[in-house]
Structure 1
Amino acid sequence: MLSNKDKKELRRLAHHEKNLVNVGKHGLTDNLYESFEAALEQHNLVKVNILKTSSVTLDELIESFVHEYECELVNKTGRVAIFYKYHEEGRIKL
């Protein structure tokens, strides 16, 4: 469980990161899940953007990813959500 201090630091780090995963009109597909999992293992901190054409809501996406990958939601703003899960090989560490 991340503390508020940890979340604040992760939000600061994520500010300069690009969106690693984009959710388009096809919604939550197998390829999207694979991309998210790979990004989570490589970076630990993943910024996900939901495009305007997507039929998926931000809350549906958050519920799906948190349940499926046991990662933590760091922040959600507009159509962007930031997730964190620690991996030893990951690039961003607390």
Structure 2
Amino acid sequence: MSLTSSQKKFLRQRAHHLKPVVIIGQHGLGENVLGEIDNALAHHELIKVRVNASDREERQQLIDAILQQSQAEQVQLIGHVAVFYRPADEPKIQLPR
């Protein structure tokens, strides 16, 4: 799945008011955290995740692992907060073409 720039813009607008549903802390990215991210994506399609990492490289590694494990698309990254999108089996969000 690859999002166009207009679709990413649309999703960024929708995600603006959202609060992070998952916070990755000092214990890193375990199976429980990945399970919560997967459940949140299945239910909401568009989520924010706060990645509390000590440096940019570690934060990017955690984000890459989330993308690989969840089959989601990264919409935005601002500071420690990343926005992810994955369409559900019955999509609630209708993306523009």
Taking structure 1 as the reference length, the TM-score comes to 0.87
Name the structure 2 match of 1:17.
Answer: 18
Name the structure 1 match of 2:66.
Answer: 65
Instruction: Write the mapping of 1:1-94 to structure 2, written as runs, cut at 5 A.
Output: 1-51=2-52, 57-89=58-90, 91-94=92-95
Note the aligned Cα RMSD (angstroms). 2.1
| Corresponding residue pairs, total | 93
> What's the % identity of the aligned pairs?
36
Following TM superposition, the consecutive aligned residue runs of length 4 or more in structure 1 with deviations greater than 2 angstroms are 88-94
For structure 1, the 5+ residue unaligned runs are none
Taking structure 2 as the reference length, the TM-score comes to 0.84
Q: Residues 52 and 23 (structure 1 numbering): CA distance in 2 closer, same or farther, change over 3 Å?
A: same
For structure 2, the 5+ residue unaligned runs are none
